[in-house]
């Protein structure tokens, strides 16, 4: 699998290095040829330096221009716009043109030894075909990298759009559930309780409106938000439901996607309270050696309740998808039923990486 490059910067570095190596070798190799070695001292040849200069002039006017015509003109303006068939037709005619220029230069403009037209054509075409092959391979490699980079950018944009949608979806869903709790408290509890609940709700709303728009927030803030939500549910159910939350470890140094944990607790409240004898919800929030473990246990509801809520799992579907997008391969999530208990488990294998996600 191809690893994505930082394309603009890496592409430029790769091109500069490739061109320097290619032309350094191409122009310099004749210096090590047997013919050139014969011209060295102690038997210096009077025309050695002149021939090498003519070789450089020939390369500068045929081989090198051919390479850049293919990579800088044929690929962007023919291959991308007209397709591969027209590209190869253009490639053939381009090669023939530079063969003609090379033969013309050798026989008439430079002091090469005159050869027959057939010999000149044959000797001229092989280096051009070789460079043409190198340029075509190089061009296809750059096109592949450009396409891969474009696909990766589209994926990133799609992921950002999806995450934005998922965030916008979770807030009204959560508000809807909270308002149901408020209505229940106003109807069944005292005005004083309703006032206290409204104050709690304002704290939760402040978090959703201002903090949840951030890409990452401190883990301590997410935990505080979670505690406010649990306190609100305790006020709603009073002693009818036993809700506990336990925390361990330092959460001040780590960051996390906002509103990522609340759906687990919300799901436990929804499925583990009504139609349940002696309901309880236990929340464990553990940070150990830079690894976050989050567990929620609740008493199972009846089959009747589970069927009733089967189509309303927006929150959990949402959080599972967000985890897939944000922490691919870096988290473990389990949601399973064991006897009369529902067990929800989230484990971040590498939460330290969230420090670098801002």
Per-domain boundaries in the chain: 7-152, 189-356
DSSP state of 4: P
Mean pLDDT of the chain: 73
In what helix (H) or strand (E) does residue 187 lie, and over which residues does it extend?
A: helix 117-188
CB 328 within 8 A of CB 300: no
Order of strands across the sheet with 341-348?
A: 242-248, 280-288, 291-299, 341-348, 331-338
Beta carbons within 10 angstroms of residue 339's beta carbon: 5
pLDDT digits (tens, 9 = 90+) for 320-336: 888 887 888 788 888 88
Q: How confident is the model at residue 136 (pLDDT cuts 50, 70, 90)?
A: very high
Measure the CA–CA gap between 145 and 215, rounded to whole angstroms: 29
Please tell me the predicted confidence (pLDDT) of residue 158.
66
Average pLDDT on 222-251 reads 84
Q: Which two tokens stand for residue 257?
A: 């996607």
Closest CA to 271 of 228, 307, 319: 307
CA distances from 36 to 29, 73, 272 (A): 10, 35, 89
Average pLDDT on 347-351 reads 65
Measure the CA–CA gap between 343 and 336, rounded to whole angstroms: 5
**Of the CATH numbers 3.30.565.10, 3.40.50.2300, 3.40.50.300, 3.30.700.30, which one belongs to the domain with range 189-356?**
3.30.565.10
Measure the CA–CA gap between 204 and 197, rounded to whole angstroms: 11
Measure the CA–CA gap between 222 and 208, rounded to whole angstroms: 11
Residues 6+ apart with CB under 8 A from 40: 48
Please tell me the predicted confidence (pLDDT) of residue 36.
47
Closest CA to 52 of 25, 68, 29: 29
What residue has token string 């025309």?
A: 47
- Sequential DSSP letters for 84-102: HHHHHHHHHHHHHHHHHHH
Q: How confident is the model at residue 159 (pLDDT cuts 50, 70, 90)?
A: low
Burial of 344 (0-12, 13-18, 19+ CB in 10 A): buried
Average pLDDT on 94-116 reads 69
Q: Is the pLDDT of residue 53 over 70?
A: no
Burial of 343 (0-12, 13-18, 19+ CB in 10 A): middle
Q: Is the pLDDT of residue 49 over 60?
A: no
Model-level pTM? 0.54
Residues 6+ apart with CB under 8 A from 323: 260, 331, 333, 346
What is the distance of C-alpha 271 from the center of its chain? Answer: 36
Residue 39 DSSP SS3:
coil
In percent, the amount of the chain with pLDDT more than 90 equals 6
Please tell me the predicted confidence (pLDDT) of residue 86.
92
Measure the CA–CA gap between 69 and 92, rounded to whole angstroms: 12
Q: Which two tokens stand for residue 50?
A: 């002149």
Measure the CA–CA gap between 351 and 330, rounded to whole angstroms: 8
In what helix (H) or strand (E) does residue 68 lie, and over which residues does it extend?
A: helix 64-69
Please tell me the predicted confidence (pLDDT) of residue 14.
76
Q: Is the pLDDT of residue 193 over 90?
A: no
- Please report, for the chain, how many H helices and E strands are present, in that order: 12, 7
pLDDT digits (tens, 9 = 90+) for 144-153: 888 887 777 7
- The per-residue b/e assignment along 95-112, b for 16 or more CB within 10 angstroms, e otherwise, is beebbebbbebbbeebeb
Q: Is the pLDDT of residue 30 over 80?
A: no
Pure H helices in 189-288:
191-206, 219-237, 262-271
Please tell me the predicted confidence (pLDDT) of residue 194.
67
Q: Is the pLDDT of residue 47 over 50?
A: no
């Amino acid at each position: 699998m191809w690893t994505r490059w930082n394309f603009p910067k890496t592409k430029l570095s790769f091109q500069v290095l490739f061109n320097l190596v290619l032309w350094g070798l191409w122009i310099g190799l004749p210096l090590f040829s047997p013919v050139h070695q014969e011209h060295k001292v102690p038997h210096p040849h009077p025309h050695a330096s002149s021939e090498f200069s003519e070789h450089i002039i020939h390369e500068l006017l045929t081989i090198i221009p051919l390479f850049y015509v293919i990579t800088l003109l044929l690929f962007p303006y023919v291959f991308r716009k007209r397709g591969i068939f027209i590209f190869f037709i253009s490639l053939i005619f381009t090669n023939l043109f530079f063969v003609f220029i090379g033969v013309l230069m050798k026989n008439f403009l430079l002091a090469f030894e005159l050869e027959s037209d057939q010999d000149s054509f044959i000797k001229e075409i092989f280096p051009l075909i070789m460079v043409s092959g190198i340029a075509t391979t190089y061009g296809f490699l750059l096109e592949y990298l450009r396409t891969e980079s474009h696909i990766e950018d589209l994926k990133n944009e799609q992921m950002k759009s999806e995450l934005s949608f998922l965030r916008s979806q979770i807030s009204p869903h959560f508000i809807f559930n909270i308002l149901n709790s408020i209505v229940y408290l106003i109807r069944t509890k005292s005005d004083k309780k309703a006032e206290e609940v409204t104050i709690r709700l304002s704290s939760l709303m402040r978090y959703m409106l201002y903090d949840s728009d951030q890409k990452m927030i401190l883990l301590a803030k997410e935990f505080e938000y979670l505690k406010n939500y649990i306190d609100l549910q305790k006020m709603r159910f009073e002693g009818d439901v036993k809700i506990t939350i336990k925390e361990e470890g330092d959460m001040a140094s780590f960051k996390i996607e906002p509103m990522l944990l609340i759906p687990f607790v919300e799901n436990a409240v929804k499925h583990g309270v009504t139609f349940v004898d002696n309901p309880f919800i236990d929340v464990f929030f553990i940070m150990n050696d830079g690894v976050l473990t989050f567990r929620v246990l609740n008493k199972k509801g009846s089959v009747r309740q589970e069927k009733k809520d089967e189509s309303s799992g927006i929150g959990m579907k949402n959080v599972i998808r967000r985890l897939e997008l944000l922490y691919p391969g870096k988290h473990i999530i389990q949601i399973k039923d064991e006897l009369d208990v529902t067990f929800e488990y989230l484990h971040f294998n590498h939460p330290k990486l969230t420090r670098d996600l801002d």
